[in-house]
Amino acid sequence: MPGYARSALCWLAGSLATLLVWGFLPLSTEHRVMLSCALLLMVIAGCMWVRRQSRQLQSTVEQSATWQLPATGFDGALVLVCGAGSLMFSDQDSPRQTQQGWYLNTPTPESFALAVEWIAATAPALLNQLSVAFCIAPECHQDEAQLRGEIRQWRMQFAFSRRQLSRVPAIVLCGYVNGMTVTEKAPADWFVYDGENRSQDINVYAEDGGCLTLARWGQQGDGQWRMAQMLWLDALLGWLKAVIIDELCQPQTRLPAVPLTAIAVTFTPLCGVENNLWQRIIRQRTTLVPALSPDNASTAMGLPFPDCLLPLLPVRQGLTPAQHLKLSVGGIVALFFMTALLSSFANNHRLIRSIGADLALYHRLTGSPPEPKTLAQQQLRRDEQQLARYQRQGPPLSLGLGLYQGMVLYPALQAAISDWVSPSPATPHPTLPTVEKAPQTLRLDSLSLFDTGKAMLKPASTQVLQNALLNIKAKPGWLIVIAGHTDSTGNAQTNQQLSLKRAEAVRDWLVQTGGMPPGCFAVQGLGASQPLATNQTEAGRAANRRVEISLLPQADACQAAGALSASSARDGAITSKMEK
């Protein structure tokens, strides 16, 4: 994929991530700014890395050998010739084109790796047509240990080619040796068998494209000469299996096995060295010493190319660079929408829980004294106004994407608000029991209980809560309403959730430490809706960040949570339905 396309993907991913942060995730403004800055730095770093990689690759390409690639529209096999394949080329830097494919000379492992990078940079569409011809000529080697070391280097480069190709390319092992008679040009027949199924019968491919089994080939022409060639073939295949295939395919530390698509050998005039490996192999088997070909025995164009094997190579149906780009863009956009849907679902779930908790608290209060229920009714009015605004203007992006169902609670809110009217202070209710004129309220500073933006109690908050617990214990049986408050800094919905979680944390501590039943408590998250002072100053914001514990003299306050009123149960059922 070109560098500019990778940079564009980085910016696309960064932009969608920023949209998630500001539009869907329930974070404060401070946290959103911090995340946005972090995303911007990550995108810039990614683009700089892509640019650096592109420059390094361009420098490598400019310093590479002068290879030539086929013209646009070439649909044959692009073959990198490795190992002893240099003997195929009369001009080492020129490609060789045949009817079946296009051959490039890569005589060393380093040049092979460079060729793969060069093709990926200049013509990535040809990567799907790439194959490897790994050529071995035992008559050119005298030291088997040295040959094995070279093969391990090739194996390492074949494994590393996965980075550019996303796979190990199709590899054909080609073996070259002189025939039994070096003074005569042997027929350019290729003896081939499947690299994965070693027990498969050997097929013989002729220059004209004809194919015969080894048994039928041995019955044609000079049977005695062909039988001798079959002995030569058996010796060569045995040596390839014991040395070359063993080094390529046997498991080794850190190096995966190299699968061979096919194994092919041919007998052709070849210049070698004295006391070579092939001579030693034949001497061990037959006590004969194969003769070497004279220097001018090779053809003018070098060793024969394995054209007959190219149609046998597996067809690779890969993706073009444009398809890779489209797939990457689709994956990023799909991930964005999946995350946005999950965030919208979570935000709707929190909204339903918050309004459901307000309804449950409102129906739980009996109205004696009226002040707590009046406060709860005011909170329901704010909830109703919020849902009405969403109905007029549409829900915010964080609740959208077709998942918003807050209007299901709207009728329940309107019915709850209208089913109770606070009595006038000048006309006391005739049946109202004698109670204290106002609830007792304990006001706790949030900074003494929690860290900024957190809802987990600090270890130092124990003393403050113990003092509050003593006051609560002095009023046994009373309803304990815990309300969390914040200042106006940040997002209103986030502040409301934070205040609710802080109130729940204080309640949980009192329940666990004081041994009181949970039915004695009611919690509220009021956010910044009821400030004590102005939010324009630091002192005012500090005063508004608080947790208030109100003690209400209500006789039935500590009944089990299941003994709620019918209307509270109805709202709970609605809330449960919405959460599902």
State percent of the chain over pLDDT 70: 80
> Strand runs (DSSP E) across 106-163, as ranges?
130-136
* Longest CA span, the chain: 131
Q: Which residues of 503-535 are buried (b: 16+ CB within 10 A; e: fewer)?
A: bbbbbebbeeebebeebbbbbbbbbbbebeeee
Q: Is the pLDDT of residue 385 over 50?
A: yes
CB within 8 Å of 73: residues ≥ 6 apart: none
Is the CB of residue 372 less than 8 Å from the CB of residue 365?
Answer: yes
pLDDT band at residue 200 using 50, 70 and 90 as cut-offs: low
Taking CA atoms, 305 is separated from 70, 79, 442, in Å, by 17, 10, 93
Higher-confidence residue: 315 or 236? 236
Q: What is the pLDDT of residue 299?
A: 43
* DSSP tag of 99: S
pLDDT band at residue 310 using 50, 70 and 90 as cut-offs: confident
Q: Is the pLDDT of residue 576 over 60?
A: no
Q: What is the pLDDT of residue 59?
A: 65
Question: Kind of pairing, strands 521-527 and 211-213?
Answer: unpaired
For residue 103, the cross-strand partners are 79, 96
* DSSP tag of 255: B
User: What would the pLDDT profile of 124-161 be if each residue is shown by its tens digit?
Assistant: 778 888 889 999 999 889 999 999 999 989 988 888 88
Question: Mean pLDDT over residues 300-321, rounded?
Answer: 69
The Cα 364–Cα 377 span in angstroms is 12
pLDDT band at residue 165 using 50, 70 and 90 as cut-offs: confident
Least confident of 58-67, 164-173, 308-317: 58-67
Least confident of 128-132, 240-244, 245-249, 254-258: 254-258
Taking CA atoms, 220 is separated from 201, 215, 228, 281, 363, in Å, by 18, 9, 13, 28, 102
Counting Cβ atoms within 10 Å, is residue 454 exposed (0-12), middle (13-18) or buried (19+)? middle
The Cα 211–Cα 41 span in angstroms is 62
Q: Which of 465, 560, 460 is nearest to 512 (CA)?
A: 465
User: What would the pLDDT profile of 473-525 be if each residue is shown by its tens digit?
Assistant: 767 767 888 899 999 888 888 888 889 999 999 988 888 887 778 778 888 88
Least confident of 399-403, 433-437, 464-468: 433-437
Q: What is the pLDDT of residue 64?
A: 55
Q: What is the pLDDT of residue 569?
A: 38
- Cis peptide upstream of residue 369 (ω within 30 degrees of 0): yes
Q: What is the pLDDT of residue 213?
A: 84
Question: Mean pLDDT over residues 209-231, rounded?
Answer: 78
Q: What is the pLDDT of residue 567?
A: 42
Q: Where are the alpha helices (DSSP H) in 220-276?
A: 223-239, 246-249
Q: Tell me what the pLDDT averaged over the chain comes to.
A: 78
Q: Is the pLDDT of residue 11 over 80?
A: yes
Q: What is the pLDDT of residue 319?
A: 59
Q: What is the pLDDT of residue 146?
A: 92
Structure tokens at 137: 């000529």
The Cα 465–Cα 443 span in angstroms is 11
Cα dihedral 175, 181, 185, 187 sign: negative
Q: What is the pLDDT of residue 485?
A: 92
Structure tokens at 314: 């597996």
Give me the residue label for tokens 């830097």. Answer: 93
Q: Is the pLDDT of residue 63 over 80?
A: no
Q: Which of 339, 163, 151 is nearest to 240 (CA)?
A: 151
Q: Is the pLDDT of residue 579 over 60?
A: no
Taking CA atoms, 328 is separated from 47, 136, 320, 335, 503, in Å, by 16, 41, 12, 11, 45
User: What would the pLDDT profile of 516-560 be if each residue is shown by its tens digit?
Assistant: 787 788 888 888 888 888 888 888 888 888 998 888 776 555 653
pLDDT band at residue 199 using 50, 70 and 90 as cut-offs: very low
Structure tokens at 195: 């690299």
How many residues are recorded in the chain? Answer: 580
The Cα 150–Cα 243 span in angstroms is 12
Give me the residue label for tokens 């498969």. Answer: 200
User: What would the pLDDT profile of 175-192 be if each residue is shown by its tens digit?
Assistant: 988 877 654 455 568 888
Chain-centroid distance, C-alpha 383? 40
pTM of the shown model: 0.52
The Cα 275–Cα 290 span in angstroms is 10
User: What would the pLDDT profile of 87-102 be if each residue is shown by its tens digit?
Assistant: 777 665 567 887 778 8
Q: What is the pLDDT of residue 134?
A: 92
Three-state SS at 218: helix
Question: Mean pLDDT over residues 393-401, rounded?
Answer: 83
Q: What is the pLDDT of residue 321?
A: 64
The Cα 43–Cα 135 span in angstroms is 46
State percent of the chain over pLDDT 90: 4
The Cα 507–Cα 290 span in angstroms is 96
User: What would the pLDDT profile of 409-451 be if each residue is shown by its tens digit?
Assistant: 888 888 888 777 777 554 444 444 444 444 577 888 888 888 8
